[in-house]
Amino acid sequence: MKVKVYIRLKEGVLDVQGQVVLRALRNLGFEEVEEVRIGKLIEMELSDGDRERVKEMCERMLANPVVEDYEIVIEDGKD
């Protein structure tokens, strides 16, 4: 099954990369951009498993629950 995990900095945690990109976009003339947050996308191919297993992967390694939120998207297979 194909799984995507989106990892984002929690709201309230300063995203300095996002701020730099926001400023750069505005300097390029894209003044309509009001906020930029930069995260990570992890794509995985699993032979088997379910959402609970992926959640465990996120909690134990893929995300740092102190500062990051994660979102699991299962593209095919059982959910």
With tokens 């992926």, the residue in question is 54
Segment contacting other proteins (CB under 8 A): 26-34, 43-51, 55-63, 70-78? 55-63
Q: Give the whole-angstrom CA distance, residue 34 versus residue 25.
A: 10
Query: Running DSSP on this structure, what letter comes out for residue 46?
Result: -
The only residue of 14, 29, 48, 52 in contact with other proteins, by rule CB under 8 A = 14
Q: Which is nearer to other proteins, 71 or 79 (CB)?
A: 71
Strands (E), the chain: 2-9, 40-45, 68-74
Q: Contact between 17 and other proteins (CB under 8 A)?
A: yes
Q: Does 13 bind other proteins (CB under 8 A)?
A: yes
